[in-house]
Each structure stands twice: as C-alpha cells, then as structure tokens.
Amino acid sequence: MRYPLESLYTLLSTLLKMMCLKLGLILLLFFSASVFSTEVGQLVPDCPVMTSMTSQPVKLSDYQGKVLLIDFWATWCPPCEQSMPFLNRLRNEFKDKDFEIVAINVDDDTEETKRFLDTHVVDYPILLDPKAQCPPLFKVKAMPSSYFVDRTGKIRAIHLGYRESDQVEIRKHVLELLGE
C-alpha cells in the first residue's frame, strides 16, 4: 500500500506529538514524585489512616512529640523478621524516654500478617497498610526501611535493609535523637 507523501508526513507528525506528550507526562510524574517524596530533613507525611492490630484507626501524627523509628516491613521479608528481636530490645531499652517504634506492615493480606505475628513476638505497635498507600509517600526503596524521626516530626536519618551488624548504627541514630 502506498501513502501519499503528505499523508505520511501527517501520520508521523501526529505520532511524534503523541510520543512527546507521553514522554512529558512520564517525566512530570517522575520529577514530581522526587520533589514530593519524603527524605532526610523533611517532615513525616501523615499517611492515609492505617489501622492497628485491634482495627483502631491510627495516624503517624498521633506520635508527635516522641522520637520515632518508623519501620516498613512485610511478612515475606527475611531481614524484616530478623530485625524484630533487636527492635524489641531497642524499644524496651528506651520506652521510658519518649521513644517509640512503629512498624508499618505493607502486606495486602492482613490475616497473613496476623498469623505471622502469632508466631513472632513484637513489643511495639504494628500498623496495617494493606493498600500500601504509605510507602510511596516515604519513597521506600527496600524492605525493611527505617526512618528516624525527631520530636518535631522531622526525618533525621534513613536506614535501608537489616543485618546484625547494622544494630550499632541504628542504636546510634536513636541515641542521637534522644540526646537532643
């Protein structure tokens, strides 16, 4: 099939405009996500309301005034599971000093999370975010991801992943914030 040169030009011109428009939208979304994502020095975003393990609505702003370690985790994440005994010890060591750990679970199956917690001791609050609405606001890049928040609600440090050797660094962040 032969196309007249003018028709071919019109077709290519239209396709090029559509591709540029799509590329522009992709770039806009990418850069706006970077601008509006949470990073060190920014205030903690107040995620859409999550629920506690007892189905009570909870917001991160409920913890304003405390030093906070926000830990994003999932049941399918072995390092998340490995961090739990250490986080229990850390929370129990500093709970009388206006320190709290809030673990945000992002599994879509809350019943699976409850079954997991039936066999794992956790001494700190677990919040359920089955639609994973909170992680994009924090720009979560790994599981687990820990955000260290000062008493004013400002993120002061971010730690990605977990290995036993990370305990010193995590504890150091908490001690620095408690000393302020």
87-108 confidence digits (pLDDT tens): 999 999 999 999 999 999 999 9
pLDDT at 23 over 70: no
Q: Is residue 5 very low, low, confident or very high in pLDDT (cuts 50, 70, 90)?
A: low
Domain layout of the chain by residue ranges: 1-36, 50-178
- Cα separation, 99 vs 174, whole angstroms: 8
Main-chain dihedrals φ then ψ at residue 50, nearest 5 degrees: -105, 175
Choose which CATH entry (1.20.1250.20, 3.40.30.10, 3.40.50.720, 3.40.50.1260) describes domain 50-178.
3.40.30.10
pLDDT (tens digit, 9 = 90+) per residue, 59-70?
899 999 999 999
| Phi, psi dihedrals of residue 82, rounded to the nearest 5° | -65, -30
**Which has more confidence, 175 or 39?**
175
Of 8-12, 34-38, 50-54, 111-115, which gets the smallest average pLDDT? 34-38
pLDDT of 76 above 80: yes
Backbone angles phi, psi at 13, to 5 degrees: -60, -45
Single-letter amino acid code for the residue at 20: C
For 36-58, what is the mean pLDDT?
Answer: 82
**Which three-class secondary structure string do you get for the chain?**
CCCCHHHHHHHHHHHHHHHHHHHHHHHHHHHHHHHHCCCCCCECCCCCCEEECCCCEECHHHHCCCEEEEEEECCCCHHHHHHHHHHHHHHHHHHHHCEEEEEEECCCCHHHHHHHHHCCCCCCCEEECCCCCHHHHHCCCCCCEEEEECCCCEEEEEEECCCHHHHHHHHHHHHHHHCC
Q: What is the pLDDT of residue 38?
A: 64
pLDDT of residue 53: 86
Model confidence at 40: pLDDT above 90? no
Res 14: pLDDT: 62
Indicate the pLDDT class of residue 2, thresholds 50, 70 and 90: low
Residue-level pLDDT at 82:
97
Confidence of residue 54 (pLDDT cuts 50, 70, 90): confident
